[in-house]
Chains A and B, each alone.
Chain A
Amino acid sequence: MSKRHISAVVNGDPVEFLTEPGRTLLDALRDDLGLTGSKEGCGTGDCGACSVIVDGRLVCSCLMLAEEAEGRRVETIEGLAEGGALHPLQQKFLEHAALQCGFCTPGVLVAAKALLDSNPDPTESETRYWLAGNLCRCTGYDKIIRAVMDAAADLRQARV
C-alpha cells in the first residue's frame, strides 16, 4: 500500500508528511515530524500521555489515525510555550514541583490547557475529573491539581 500525503497545521505551522495507512497520529507526530514530546504510555487511550488538541478538542493521539489529521489544527506540548516564554501552566508546574519523572507531564499540561480553555474557573473536583484520563504514577496528583488551579487563577487575573 502506498503512503498517504497529509497536510495539517501543527502548533500553528503548516506541515506535510507521508504516512502509511493505519499509522497513528502519535507515531506520525513522533517519528515523521520529530515531535517526541507526546509520549506512548499504553497505546490504547487509557493513560493520556499522548494527549493533543485537535481542532480545539482534547484527543488521545494514539487513538487517532494520522490520516484523520488531514486539514486539521493540531496542538501538541511543543506549542504550549510562546517563543521562549512558558505558559502559566508550565510555570506553575515548575513552581509547585508538580512533576517528578516528567513522562506524563506533556499529556497532563495539554489536557489542563484544554480544561482551562473550556472552563477558566474549575473547582478541585472538576479539575480532578477532567484529568482522570491522565495517569501519573509518581506524584499522587496533589501538586498537579494545585498547580492547575493556581494557573487558572493567574489566567483569570490576567484577563481582568
Chain B
Amino acid sequence: MPHVVAADSSLHPFTDGLSEFDVEADTVRRLIAALDRRFPGLGEHIDRRMAIAIDGEIHQDAGAVPLSPESEVYLIPRIGGG
C-alpha cells in the first residue's frame, strides 16, 4: 500500500495534525480521491496548492501516474520559480 507523507504544515488542519498514512490506491488520482474521502476538503487543497513527489520525482500535475504498493508519496507545496 503506498505510503503517503504530508510534510507541509498547511495540510495539518485537514488531517488533524496527522502527517503520515498508508492509502490504498493504484494511481495518484485515486490516491487523492481516497484522501479526500478520509479528510474532506483535502483533495481540493492538494489539487490547487500541492505538488506530489513519487519515489523521489516531483510532479506538479500527476493524476494518471501509477503507484506501486511500495511507492513513497510526498505531498509538498507547489514550487514557483523566477
A and B directly contacting (CB within 8 A):
no
B-side residues, CB < 8 A to A, are none
**Interface residues, chain A, with chain B CB atoms under 8 Å away:** none
